[in-house]
Chains A and B, each alone.
Chain A
Amino acid sequence: MNAVEKLIPYALEAAEQNLAESGKIKKVYNGYISGFGATVIQAGLIPAAANLEKDTDRTKGSRRLIADALLHILEKMGYKDIDKKSLTRTAIKYKEKIKFKNDILDAATALKLAIRTFKLED
Protein backbone atom coordinates (compact mmCIF):
# COMPACT_ATOMS: atom_id res chain seq x y z
CA MET A 1 0.00 0.00 0.00
CA ASN A 2 1.20 3.52 -0.79
CA ALA A 3 2.71 5.20 2.31
CA VAL A 4 0.33 8.17 2.17
CA GLU A 5 -2.71 5.95 1.65
CA LYS A 6 -1.83 4.06 4.84
CA LEU A 7 -1.79 7.32 6.79
CA ILE A 8 -5.13 8.71 5.65
CA PRO A 9 -7.15 7.07 8.50
CA TYR A 10 -4.75 8.59 11.09
CA ALA A 11 -4.89 11.93 9.28
CA LEU A 12 -8.71 11.93 9.31
CA GLU A 13 -8.62 11.18 13.03
CA ALA A 14 -6.06 13.98 13.60
CA ALA A 15 -8.11 16.45 11.58
CA GLU A 16 -11.28 15.48 13.43
CA GLN A 17 -9.66 15.86 16.86
CA ASN A 18 -7.51 18.94 16.25
CA LEU A 19 -9.00 21.01 13.44
CA ALA A 20 -12.69 20.27 12.86
CA GLU A 21 -15.61 21.97 14.52
CA SER A 22 -19.08 20.62 13.77
CA GLY A 23 -17.71 18.75 10.76
CA LYS A 24 -16.18 21.90 9.24
CA ILE A 25 -12.56 23.03 8.96
CA LYS A 26 -11.37 26.58 8.46
CA LYS A 27 -10.05 27.17 4.96
CA VAL A 28 -6.90 28.69 6.40
CA TYR A 29 -5.71 25.24 7.58
CA ASN A 30 -5.67 24.05 3.99
CA GLY A 31 -3.24 26.91 3.26
CA TYR A 32 -1.13 26.19 6.35
CA ILE A 33 -0.61 22.51 5.51
CA SER A 34 0.18 23.27 1.84
CA GLY A 35 2.67 25.91 2.97
CA PHE A 36 4.26 23.49 5.44
CA GLY A 37 5.34 21.07 2.69
CA ALA A 38 6.78 23.89 0.61
CA THR A 39 8.67 25.26 3.64
CA VAL A 40 10.15 21.86 4.49
CA ILE A 41 11.52 21.59 0.95
CA GLN A 42 12.81 25.16 0.82
CA ALA A 43 14.02 25.85 4.36
CA GLY A 44 14.31 22.40 5.96
CA LEU A 45 12.27 20.43 8.44
CA ILE A 46 13.18 22.19 11.69
CA PRO A 47 12.49 25.78 10.49
CA ALA A 48 9.24 24.56 8.95
CA ALA A 49 8.23 22.91 12.23
CA ALA A 50 9.18 26.05 14.22
CA ASN A 51 6.99 28.10 11.89
CA LEU A 52 4.01 26.01 13.00
CA GLU A 53 4.64 26.44 16.74
CA LYS A 54 3.37 29.99 17.10
CA ASP A 55 0.12 29.79 19.00
CA THR A 56 -1.96 32.50 17.38
CA ASP A 57 -5.58 33.46 17.82
CA ARG A 58 -7.53 30.23 17.41
CA THR A 59 -10.62 31.99 16.14
CA LYS A 60 -8.70 32.76 12.95
CA GLY A 61 -6.94 29.42 12.87
CA SER A 62 -3.82 28.51 14.79
CA ARG A 63 -0.83 26.99 13.01
CA ARG A 64 -0.05 25.15 16.22
CA LEU A 65 -3.09 22.91 15.67
CA ILE A 66 -1.49 21.68 12.43
CA ALA A 67 1.65 20.77 14.43
CA ASP A 68 -0.53 18.91 16.95
CA ALA A 69 -2.27 17.03 14.13
CA LEU A 70 1.09 16.02 12.61
CA LEU A 71 2.34 14.82 16.00
CA HIS A 72 -0.83 12.73 16.34
CA ILE A 73 -0.13 11.05 12.98
CA LEU A 74 3.55 10.47 13.84
CA GLU A 75 2.55 8.83 17.10
CA LYS A 76 0.16 6.51 15.26
CA MET A 77 3.01 5.68 12.86
CA GLY A 78 4.92 4.25 15.82
CA TYR A 79 7.33 7.07 16.70
CA LYS A 80 8.12 6.65 20.39
CA ASP A 81 10.23 9.73 21.20
CA ILE A 82 7.61 12.32 20.45
CA ASP A 83 7.50 15.56 22.43
CA LYS A 84 3.74 16.01 22.44
CA LYS A 85 4.06 19.74 23.07
CA SER A 86 6.49 20.53 20.27
CA LEU A 87 6.92 19.37 16.68
CA THR A 88 10.18 21.35 16.54
CA ARG A 89 11.71 19.50 19.49
CA THR A 90 10.51 16.22 18.04
CA ALA A 91 12.10 17.10 14.68
CA ILE A 92 15.41 17.96 16.39
CA LYS A 93 15.53 14.51 17.98
CA TYR A 94 15.28 12.91 14.55
CA LYS A 95 17.08 15.56 12.49
CA GLU A 96 19.76 13.21 11.14
CA LYS A 97 17.24 10.73 9.85
CA ILE A 98 16.12 11.07 6.26
CA LYS A 99 13.34 8.57 7.00
CA PHE A 100 11.84 10.90 9.61
CA LYS A 101 11.74 13.78 7.14
CA ASN A 102 10.13 11.57 4.48
CA ASP A 103 7.61 10.26 7.03
CA ILE A 104 6.64 13.76 8.15
CA LEU A 105 6.18 14.80 4.51
CA ASP A 106 3.94 11.75 3.99
CA ALA A 107 2.02 12.71 7.15
CA ALA A 108 1.62 16.28 5.85
CA THR A 109 0.38 14.99 2.49
CA ALA A 110 -2.12 12.69 4.21
CA LEU A 111 -3.32 15.56 6.43
CA LYS A 112 -3.69 17.82 3.39
CA LEU A 113 -5.85 15.22 1.66
CA ALA A 114 -7.82 14.54 4.86
CA ILE A 115 -8.59 18.25 5.34
CA ARG A 116 -10.07 18.37 1.87
CA THR A 117 -12.69 15.74 2.80
CA PHE A 118 -14.24 18.25 5.24
CA LYS A 119 -16.40 21.19 4.35
CA LEU A 120 -14.08 24.18 4.28
CA GLU A 121 -15.27 27.51 5.65
CA ASP A 122 -13.83 31.05 5.85
Chain B
Amino acid sequence: MLKYHLFTIRTLSNMHVGSGDTNFGVVDNLIQRDPTTNYPYISSSSLKGALREHCESNGLDSVSKIFGKEAKNNNESAPGSYKFFPAYILSIPVRSDIRAYFNGTCPNICSSFKKILDDFSINYKFNYNIPKPEKVEICENNKMGTVEGYEVKYNNDISDKNFKDLFGAYPAIFPDEIFLNDVALNMPVVARNKLENGRSENLWYEEVVPRESRFYFIVGAPENDSDFNAFVESITKSPVQIGANASIGYGFSLISLVSEV
Protein backbone atom coordinates (compact mmCIF):
# COMPACT_ATOMS: atom_id res chain seq x y z
CA MET B 1 0.00 0.00 0.00
CA LEU B 2 1.24 3.47 -0.87
CA LYS B 3 1.57 6.35 1.55
CA TYR B 4 1.42 9.82 0.01
CA HIS B 5 3.85 12.56 0.98
CA LEU B 6 3.69 16.27 0.30
CA PHE B 7 6.73 18.19 -0.95
CA THR B 8 7.17 21.84 -1.89
CA ILE B 9 9.46 23.42 -4.46
CA ARG B 10 10.91 26.92 -4.13
CA THR B 11 12.55 28.12 -7.33
CA LEU B 12 15.93 29.75 -6.70
CA SER B 13 16.34 30.83 -10.31
CA ASN B 14 14.05 31.31 -13.30
CA MET B 15 12.71 27.99 -14.53
CA HIS B 16 11.75 26.85 -18.01
CA VAL B 17 10.09 23.46 -18.12
CA GLY B 18 9.05 23.60 -21.74
CA SER B 19 5.87 22.43 -23.40
CA GLY B 20 7.89 21.25 -26.42
CA ASP B 21 9.54 23.21 -29.20
CA THR B 22 6.24 23.84 -30.96
CA ASN B 23 6.24 27.53 -31.86
CA PHE B 24 2.45 27.33 -31.87
CA GLY B 25 2.11 30.03 -29.21
CA VAL B 26 2.48 33.76 -29.27
CA VAL B 27 5.83 33.28 -27.49
CA ASP B 28 8.27 30.86 -29.14
CA ASN B 29 9.05 28.61 -26.19
CA LEU B 30 6.18 28.23 -23.78
CA ILE B 31 6.24 26.73 -20.29
CA GLN B 32 4.13 23.73 -19.32
CA ARG B 33 0.65 24.55 -18.04
CA ASP B 34 -1.92 22.51 -16.19
CA PRO B 35 -4.46 21.62 -18.90
CA THR B 36 -7.32 22.02 -16.42
CA THR B 37 -6.50 25.42 -14.89
CA ASN B 38 -3.94 26.97 -17.29
CA TYR B 39 -1.66 27.71 -14.31
CA PRO B 40 2.06 26.95 -14.70
CA TYR B 41 2.90 23.41 -13.61
CA ILE B 42 5.60 20.77 -13.95
CA SER B 43 4.46 17.53 -15.52
CA SER B 44 5.16 14.38 -13.53
CA SER B 45 7.53 12.99 -16.19
CA SER B 46 9.61 16.21 -16.22
CA LEU B 47 9.72 16.26 -12.42
CA LYS B 48 10.49 12.57 -12.05
CA GLY B 49 13.29 12.85 -14.64
CA ALA B 50 14.86 15.79 -12.77
CA LEU B 51 14.63 14.00 -9.42
CA ARG B 52 16.07 10.81 -10.88
CA GLU B 53 19.04 12.62 -12.38
CA HIS B 54 19.65 14.42 -9.08
CA CYS B 55 19.48 11.18 -7.06
CA GLU B 56 21.79 9.42 -9.52
CA SER B 57 24.35 12.18 -9.31
CA ASN B 58 24.09 12.06 -5.49
CA GLY B 59 24.88 8.34 -5.59
CA LEU B 60 21.56 7.16 -4.11
CA ASP B 61 21.68 3.34 -4.05
CA SER B 62 18.00 2.67 -4.57
CA VAL B 63 17.49 4.71 -7.78
CA SER B 64 16.32 1.72 -9.87
CA LYS B 65 13.92 0.57 -7.18
CA ILE B 66 12.44 4.04 -6.64
CA PHE B 67 12.37 5.35 -10.21
CA GLY B 68 12.36 2.16 -12.25
CA LYS B 69 14.90 0.32 -14.29
CA GLU B 70 15.71 1.58 -17.77
CA ALA B 71 16.00 -1.00 -20.55
CA LYS B 72 19.69 -1.19 -21.47
CA ASN B 73 21.65 -3.89 -23.32
CA ASN B 74 18.58 -6.12 -23.66
CA ASN B 75 17.85 -5.98 -19.93
CA GLU B 76 14.16 -5.69 -19.29
CA SER B 77 12.82 -2.42 -17.97
CA ALA B 78 10.90 -2.36 -14.69
CA PRO B 79 8.58 0.28 -13.24
CA GLY B 80 9.60 2.16 -10.10
CA SER B 81 7.95 1.48 -6.78
CA TYR B 82 7.30 5.20 -6.10
CA LYS B 83 4.60 7.21 -7.87
CA PHE B 84 5.38 10.80 -8.84
CA PHE B 85 2.62 13.35 -9.42
CA PRO B 86 2.83 16.72 -11.22
CA ALA B 87 3.92 19.82 -9.35
CA TYR B 88 1.12 22.37 -9.06
CA ILE B 89 1.59 26.06 -8.38
CA LEU B 90 1.22 27.50 -4.87
CA SER B 91 2.38 31.07 -5.44
CA ILE B 92 4.07 33.31 -8.00
CA PRO B 93 5.99 36.49 -7.07
CA VAL B 94 4.09 39.64 -8.01
CA ARG B 95 5.33 43.21 -8.20
CA SER B 96 4.39 45.83 -5.66
CA ASP B 97 5.22 49.37 -4.53
CA ILE B 98 5.01 48.22 -0.89
CA ARG B 99 7.94 45.82 -1.07
CA ALA B 100 9.98 44.19 -3.83
CA TYR B 101 7.43 41.43 -4.33
CA PHE B 102 4.58 39.51 -2.74
CA ASN B 103 3.86 35.80 -3.13
CA GLY B 104 0.68 35.92 -5.21
CA THR B 105 -1.89 33.18 -4.96
CA CYS B 106 -5.69 32.83 -5.20
CA PRO B 107 -8.62 30.97 -3.59
CA ASN B 108 -8.73 28.44 -6.42
CA ILE B 109 -5.14 27.36 -5.69
CA CYS B 110 -5.82 27.16 -1.93
CA SER B 111 -8.99 25.08 -2.47
CA SER B 112 -7.29 22.69 -4.93
CA PHE B 113 -4.39 22.28 -2.50
CA LYS B 114 -6.76 21.49 0.38
CA LYS B 115 -8.73 19.03 -1.76
CA ILE B 116 -5.59 17.18 -2.84
CA LEU B 117 -4.53 16.86 0.81
CA ASP B 118 -7.92 15.30 1.58
CA ASP B 119 -8.05 13.10 -1.54
CA PHE B 120 -4.65 11.55 -0.82
CA SER B 121 -5.13 11.46 2.99
CA ILE B 122 -1.96 13.46 3.49
CA ASN B 123 -0.92 14.09 7.05
CA TYR B 124 -0.77 17.89 6.92
CA LYS B 125 -3.12 20.38 8.52
CA PHE B 126 -4.28 23.23 6.34
CA ASN B 127 -6.88 24.94 8.49
CA TYR B 128 -7.46 28.29 6.90
CA ASN B 129 -10.65 29.97 5.92
CA ILE B 130 -10.07 30.24 2.23
CA PRO B 131 -11.03 33.82 1.45
CA LYS B 132 -13.04 34.98 -1.53
CA PRO B 133 -11.41 38.39 -1.89
CA GLU B 134 -12.87 41.22 -3.90
CA LYS B 135 -9.57 43.06 -3.61
CA VAL B 136 -6.01 41.76 -3.36
CA GLU B 137 -5.43 40.79 0.28
CA ILE B 138 -2.03 40.98 1.97
CA CYS B 139 -0.89 40.10 5.48
CA GLU B 140 0.70 43.43 6.40
CA ASN B 141 -1.38 45.92 8.31
CA ASN B 142 -1.21 49.68 7.79
CA LYS B 143 0.45 49.30 4.43
CA MET B 144 -0.80 51.56 1.68
CA GLY B 145 0.02 50.77 -1.88
CA THR B 146 -0.68 48.40 -4.71
CA VAL B 147 0.20 44.89 -5.84
CA GLU B 148 0.35 44.45 -9.63
CA GLY B 149 -1.45 47.80 -9.77
CA TYR B 150 -4.36 46.66 -7.57
CA GLU B 151 -5.27 48.28 -4.24
CA VAL B 152 -4.77 46.02 -1.24
CA LYS B 153 -6.70 45.03 1.88
CA TYR B 154 -5.40 43.50 5.14
CA ASN B 155 -6.16 39.83 5.90
CA ASN B 156 -5.07 38.44 9.28
CA ASP B 157 -5.70 34.80 8.31
CA ILE B 158 -2.71 34.69 5.99
CA SER B 159 -0.25 36.09 8.54
CA ASP B 160 0.10 32.62 10.11
CA LYS B 161 3.65 31.19 10.02
CA ASN B 162 2.58 27.86 8.49
CA PHE B 163 0.72 29.65 5.70
CA LYS B 164 3.81 31.75 5.01
CA ASP B 165 6.05 28.68 5.06
CA LEU B 166 3.95 27.19 2.28
CA PHE B 167 3.15 30.18 0.10
CA GLY B 168 6.11 32.44 0.86
CA ALA B 169 6.87 35.10 3.47
CA TYR B 170 4.62 37.79 1.95
CA PRO B 171 1.39 36.23 0.69
CA ALA B 172 -1.03 38.23 -1.46
CA ILE B 173 -4.37 36.64 -2.30
CA PHE B 174 -5.90 37.73 -5.59
CA PRO B 175 -9.46 37.20 -6.80
CA ASP B 176 -9.34 34.09 -9.05
CA GLU B 177 -10.03 35.86 -12.34
CA ILE B 178 -7.40 38.55 -11.75
CA PHE B 179 -4.83 35.97 -10.70
CA LEU B 180 -5.40 33.92 -13.83
CA ASN B 181 -5.36 36.79 -16.32
CA ASP B 182 -2.86 39.20 -14.75
CA VAL B 183 -0.47 36.82 -13.03
CA ALA B 184 -0.62 33.19 -14.18
CA LEU B 185 -1.04 33.97 -17.88
CA ASN B 186 1.48 36.84 -17.76
CA MET B 187 4.65 35.00 -16.86
CA PRO B 188 7.96 36.72 -17.64
CA VAL B 189 9.31 36.38 -21.16
CA VAL B 190 13.04 36.44 -21.80
CA ALA B 191 14.54 37.31 -25.17
CA ARG B 192 17.34 34.96 -26.22
CA ASN B 193 19.65 35.53 -29.14
CA LYS B 194 22.31 33.65 -31.03
CA LEU B 195 25.02 35.93 -32.37
CA GLU B 196 27.50 35.15 -35.09
CA ASN B 197 30.23 37.73 -35.60
CA GLY B 198 28.14 40.19 -33.63
CA ARG B 199 25.12 39.68 -35.87
CA SER B 200 21.84 38.19 -34.72
CA GLU B 201 21.32 34.81 -36.36
CA ASN B 202 18.44 33.62 -34.26
CA LEU B 203 16.27 35.66 -31.90
CA TRP B 204 13.64 33.87 -29.86
CA TYR B 205 11.46 34.46 -26.84
CA GLU B 206 11.16 32.12 -23.90
CA GLU B 207 8.53 32.11 -21.16
CA VAL B 208 9.85 31.39 -17.67
CA VAL B 209 8.52 30.75 -14.17
CA PRO B 210 10.26 33.43 -12.07
CA ARG B 211 12.50 32.69 -9.12
CA GLU B 212 10.76 32.58 -5.74
CA SER B 213 7.77 30.76 -7.19
CA ARG B 214 6.37 27.91 -5.08
CA PHE B 215 4.98 24.57 -6.23
CA TYR B 216 3.80 21.46 -4.41
CA PHE B 217 3.84 17.83 -5.47
CA ILE B 218 3.00 14.43 -4.09
CA VAL B 219 5.06 11.27 -4.04
CA GLY B 220 3.47 7.93 -3.25
CA ALA B 221 5.92 5.53 -1.58
CA PRO B 222 5.33 2.05 -0.18
CA GLU B 223 4.39 2.32 3.48
CA ASN B 224 7.37 2.03 5.86
CA ASP B 225 9.76 1.84 2.93
CA SER B 226 13.33 1.63 4.22
CA ASP B 227 14.68 3.77 1.37
CA PHE B 228 12.29 6.70 1.85
CA ASN B 229 14.48 8.68 4.27
CA ALA B 230 17.50 8.35 2.01
CA PHE B 231 15.37 9.48 -0.95
CA VAL B 232 14.11 12.53 0.98
CA GLU B 233 17.61 13.42 2.09
CA SER B 234 18.91 13.12 -1.44
CA ILE B 235 16.35 15.52 -2.95
CA THR B 236 16.27 18.04 -0.08
CA LYS B 237 19.90 18.51 0.91
CA SER B 238 20.98 20.51 -2.16
CA PRO B 239 19.21 22.39 -4.98
CA VAL B 240 17.64 20.19 -7.66
CA GLN B 241 17.82 21.39 -11.25
CA ILE B 242 14.45 21.11 -13.03
CA GLY B 243 13.76 21.84 -16.71
CA ALA B 244 15.91 23.31 -19.46
CA ASN B 245 18.96 25.56 -19.62
CA ALA B 246 20.89 24.24 -16.61
CA SER B 247 24.11 25.67 -18.02
CA ILE B 248 22.76 29.22 -17.71
CA GLY B 249 21.47 28.61 -14.21
CA TYR B 250 17.81 27.96 -14.94
CA GLY B 251 15.60 25.76 -12.79
CA PHE B 252 17.62 25.45 -9.59
CA SER B 253 15.12 24.75 -6.84
CA LEU B 254 14.95 23.80 -3.19
CA ILE B 255 12.67 20.92 -2.31
CA SER B 256 11.22 20.36 1.18
CA LEU B 257 9.17 17.55 2.66
CA VAL B 258 6.15 19.16 4.27
CA SER B 259 3.90 16.34 5.47
CA GLU B 260 4.78 14.14 8.41
CA VAL B 261 6.33 10.78 7.47
**Contact surface of A with B, Cβ cutoff 8 Å:** 4, 31, 34-35, 37-38, 40-42, 98, 105-106, 108-109, 112-113
- Least CB distance, B116 to chain A, in whole angstroms: 28
Whole-angstrom CA separation of A109 from B28 in the bound complex: 10
Is B126 interfacial (CB 8 A cutoff)? no
Q: How far is the CA of A98 from the CA of B185 in the complex (A)?
A: 12
Chain A min CB distance to B60 (Å): 39
Which residue of A has the minimal Cβ distance to B190?
A38
Binding site for A on B (CB under 8 A): 23-28, 181, 185-189, 191, 203-205, 207
Minimum CB–CB distance for B114 against chain A, Å:
27
Q: How far is the CA of A106 from the CA of B25 in the complex (A)?
A: 8
Chain A residue numbers with a CB within 8 Å of B28 are 34
Report the separation of the CA atoms of residues A98 and B182 in the bound assembly, to the nearest whole angstrom.
Answer: 10
Contact B26 A42, beta carbon cutoff 8 Å:
no
**15 A-B interface contacts by CB (under 8 A):** A34-B27, A34-B203, A37-B26, A37-B27, A37-B205, A38-B205, A40-B26, A41-B26, A41-B189, A42-B186, A98-B181, A106-B26, A108-B26, A109-B24, A112-B23
- CB neighbours of A37 from chain B (8 A): 25-27, 205
Q: Is the CB of A4 within 8 A of B205?
A: no
Cβ–Cβ < 8 Å partners of B185 in chain A: 41
Q: Are A41 and B24 in contact, CB atoms less than 8 angstroms apart?
A: no
* CB <8 Å contact, B24 and A42: no
B179 to chain A, nearest CB (A): 13
Residues of B within 8 A of A40 (CB): 26
Compute the total of residue contacts between A and B using a CB distance below 8 Å: 40
Tell whether A109 pairs with B25 under 8 Å between CB atoms, given A41-B186, A42-B188, A98-B181: yes
Partner of A41, one of B23, B187, B204: B187
- In the complex, which residues of chain B have a beta carbon less than 8 angstroms from the beta carbon of A108? 26
Nearest CB of chain A from residue B207's CB, rounded to whole Å: 8
- Contact across chains for B24 and A34 when beta carbons are under 8 A apart: no
Q: How far is the CA of A38 from the CA of B203 in the complex (A)?
A: 12
Known: A34-B27, A98-B181. 16 other contacts (CB 8 A): A4-B24, A34-B203, A34-B204, A35-B205, A37-B25, A38-B26, A38-B27, A38-B191, A38-B205, A40-B26, A41-B26, A41-B187, A41-B189, A109-B25, A109-B26, A113-B23
The 8 A-B pairs with the shortest beta carbon distances in the complex, nearest first, are A37-B26, A38-B189, A38-B205, A109-B26, A105-B26, A41-B189, A108-B26, A37-B27
Complex contacts, B24 vs chain A, CB 8 Å: 4, 109, 113
Bound: A65/B193 CA distance, A: 24
